[in-house]
Structure 1
Amino acid sequence: MSIKERMSGNEAVSYAIKQINPDVMPAFPITPSTEIPQMVSGYVANGEIDTEFIAVESEHSAMSAAVGASAAGARTLTATSSCGLALMWEVLHIAASNRLPIALALVNRTLSGPININCDHSDSMGARDSGWIQIYAENNQEAYDNFIQAYRIAENKEVLLPVMICQDGFITSHAVENIELLEDEKVKAFVGEYEPEDFLLNPGKPMAVGPYAVTGYGMEAKKNQEIAMENSRSVILDVAREFAALTGRKYGYFEEYHLEDAEYAMLIIGSAAGTAKDAVDELRKTGKKVGILKLRVFRPFPGKEIAQALKNVKAVAVMDRSESYRGGGGPLGVEVGSALFMERVHIEAVNYIYGLAGRDFTVENAIEVFSEMEAMVTEGREVPQYQYVGLRK
């Protein structure tokens, strides 16, 4: 029987970590993820888990220590946000290229500058091509559920890649919601023990981790990373099916909300999907056929599946909580536009930038976006293909 509780997103992730009881957690505090290492270190101090907590001097050191621990054969995690992730940048690529199944609890916060501590996705989106699997949560329940599934994905022998479990800073990390927890023994049985085949402290099987790759080998190593990322597609879905059988909560690459007969869709990531769903509910009452495609998995990018899910709509608003500074939209806009083109799905698509540096995204904002798409299709209104939502004049 599930345990009903009230927790913030940071509490929920910390509790999942407690239930999994990983081997090593190096971490350095940074708002708004600080509570996660704080709570885990409390569990360690109270003897509730036997995780080795390492208080390091920086986020670069945190990921470096995580690489060393994972290479030695330990189930390893860390947590960070924003500039902390940026300071890890070099080592993110090392963790992925070394095929180390590290879990990173990433609490999304805008990157400086200007200095700001509120939510957007510029940190994780900036690291989208570092070779990490990326999974996003809409709410506290999903943050908890995603973390429990993370190691099963990362440690699969056909994958062996690190994974970022992302949630929105302050919006979910600090807000308290009702949540259903699993019993400890069920989590332990689901996650299982980590039994790596190759690791540095195995005396019977000497190996090197992170050696210099000469020209004749470096490209093949990168191709193997790409194959592992491709392999993770089916593993993500297999793990989600097992999790649904255990909990009744279903996950996939994305969630479709009133999309089956929708004429206008909004594709969005993270907590703002809840706001968009409220807008859809209001518009549905007036007879508008609108729907949401909430993206959960950004890496590997499910482009073909997204295109198929959207092929019957007249127009889609692609919502980015990050600016890529390419002069034409955000990272999600680029990826979705490419997927629609490659799959020959010919629908109108508009890229909107919203919520940067914590700017509110309201139900009214979402309704305005849907109204603009409808006017574009039915009235022939000229709509800029790249625009900001809620920008002060």
Structure 2
Amino acid sequence: MSIKERMSGNEAIAIAMRQINPDVMPAFPITPSTEIPQYFSQFVANGKVDTEFIPVESEHSAMSAAIGAEAAGARTFSATSSCGLALMWEMLYVAASSRLPITLACVNRALSGPININADHSDSMGARDAGWIQIYSETNQEAYDNFIQAVIIGEDPEVQLPVMVCQDGFITSHAVENIELLEDKVVKDFVGEYEPEDYLLNAARPIAHGPYDIEKYYIEHKRLQAQGMMNAKEVILKVAEKFEKISGRKYGLFEEYKLDDAEVAIVVINSTAGTAKEAVDQLRAEGKKVGVLKIRVFRPFPMKEIADALKHLDMVAVMDKSEGFSACGGPVFAETRSALYDVENAPKIVDYVYGLGGRDVTVDHIRGIFETLLAEKDSKEALETYRYLGVRE
């Protein structure tokens, strides 16, 4: 039976952590993720979990401690944002290449500089090629649900990779929304106990972590790591199917919103999807065929599935809440455009970089994008694909 509550996205993540009761949680505070270890440390102090909570001196140390704990056989969580994730950079690669299924709550915030504490996706998008599975959350509910699923996705024997669960700083991390929690026992039964096959404290099967990998073996290890990411797609869907049975909430690699008969559509990630859906509802009421594709899983990128979902459209706008500095668009655009490359008569596709540093994006802004797509979809002229939304030129 679900428990109806009202709470912020940060509190929802901390509740999920409490229900799972990890073995170890190293963490260092950084806005806007600070509340997650703050809430969780209270659960530790009050005896509501058995977790070894490790307050460290930096985010680099937090991920280093997480790697050590996970390598020793402990189910390990952490949380961070922005420059904290950037300070973990070296260790993100170590965690993934060591095949350690750490679960990390990433509360998206702009990277410095200039210094900014508001939401954009430059932190997690900067880490998109570090070898971590990345799952994005539109709402507080999704952040909670995604975190619970992420734990057993990463731990699956066919995957064995760390997972980053992302949500927008302040927009969902601090905003209070209605949410349905699962009962503690239901969550604990869902994730089960962590029983790794190989870990440092298993004397029966001695292993090493972090040895020098010479050229005779390095590429084979990377190939195996890549296979884990490929396998993750099927595992994510299996876990989502299992989660639907206990929650009634259905998840996939992405969500299609009024896309079936749409002529034009927007591709978006995280909380802006809610704004886009409202714009779709308004324009549909005016008889305009528009839709949204919200990416939930960015790594592994569901290339074939997204291409199939978008191939019938006349025109697509991808929205990037980070700047890739490629001089031709953002990272979500690059991936989506690549997915459509082999599609015969592929839709026109453009990119909108938006919302950097927390710049507000309204329903009217999204309506404006849709109106532009509808006006341009039949144009025979070459279109500018790399665009900014709401910037003072």
Contact 1:304/1:343, CA 8 A, preserved across alignment: no
Q: CA deviation at 1:345?
A: 5.4
Residue 219 of structure 1 is matched in structure 2 by: 219
Residue 79 of structure 2 is matched in structure 1 by: 79
CA distance in structure 1 between the partners assigned to 2:88 and 2:37 by the alignment = 16
Residue 288 of structure 1 is matched in structure 2 by: 288
Give the AA of the match of 1:22.
Answer: P
Q: How does 1:328-339 map to 2 (within 5 A)?
A: 328-339=328-339
Q: CA deviation at 1:344?
A: 4.0
Give the AA of the match of 1:261.
Answer: D
Give the AA of the match of 1:392.
Answer: R
CA distance in structure 1 between the partners assigned to 2:325 and 2:13 by the alignment = 32
Residue 4 of structure 2 is matched in structure 1 by: 4
Q: CA deviation at 1:205?
A: 1.1
Residue 317 of structure 1 is matched in structure 2 by: 317
Residue 301 of structure 2 is matched in structure 1 by: 301
Residue 111 of structure 1 is matched in structure 2 by: 111
Q: CA deviation at 1:383?
A: 3.9
Q: CA deviation at 1:379?
A: 5.1
So what's the TM-score if we normalise by structure 1?
0.99
CA distance in structure 2 between the partners assigned to 1:259 and 1:314 by the alignment = 12
Q: How does 1:368-387 map to 2 (within 5 A)?
A: 368-378=368-378, 380=380, 383-387=383-387
Q: CA deviation at 1:146?
A: 0.2
Q: CA deviation at 1:343?
A: 4.0
Residue 100 of structure 1 is matched in structure 2 by: 100
So what's the TM-score if we normalise by structure 2?
0.99
Q: CA deviation at 1:246?
A: 1.2
State yes or no: 1:346 paired with 2:346.
Answer: yes
Residue 155 of structure 1 is matched in structure 2 by: 155
Q: CA deviation at 1:245?
A: 1.3
| Matched residue count | 393
For structure 2, the 5+ residue unaligned runs are none
Contact 1:375/1:381, CA 8 A, preserved across alignment: no
CA distance 1:253–1:373, shift in 2 (3 Å)? same
Residue 188 of structure 1 is matched in structure 2 by: 188
In the TM superposition, what whole-angstrom CA distance separates every residue of 1:51-93 from its partner, at most 9, and x where no partner exists? 1000000000000000000000000011000000000000000
2:217 partner SS: helix
Give the AA of the match of 1:225.
Answer: Q
CA distance in structure 1 between the partners assigned to 2:266 and 2:102 by the alignment = 32
For structure 1, the 5+ residue unaligned runs are none
Residue 388 of structure 1 is matched in structure 2 by: 388
Residue 39 of structure 1 is matched in structure 2 by: 39
Q: CA deviation at 1:152?
A: 1.0
CA distance 1:345–1:185, shift in 2 (3 Å)? farther
Residue 234 of structure 2 is matched in structure 1 by: 234
Q: CA deviation at 1:380?
A: 4.9
CA distance in structure 1 between the partners assigned to 2:190 and 2:345 by the alignment = 39
CA distance in structure 1 between the partners assigned to 2:133 and 2:234 by the alignment = 13
Q: CA deviation at 1:381?
A: 6.6
Contact 1:307/1:345, CA 8 A, preserved across alignment: no
Contact 1:256/1:293, CA 8 A, preserved across alignment: yes
Q: How does 1:106-145 map to 2 (within 5 A)?
A: 106-145=106-145
Give the AA of the match of 2:155.
Answer: E
Give the AA of the match of 1:177.
Answer: E
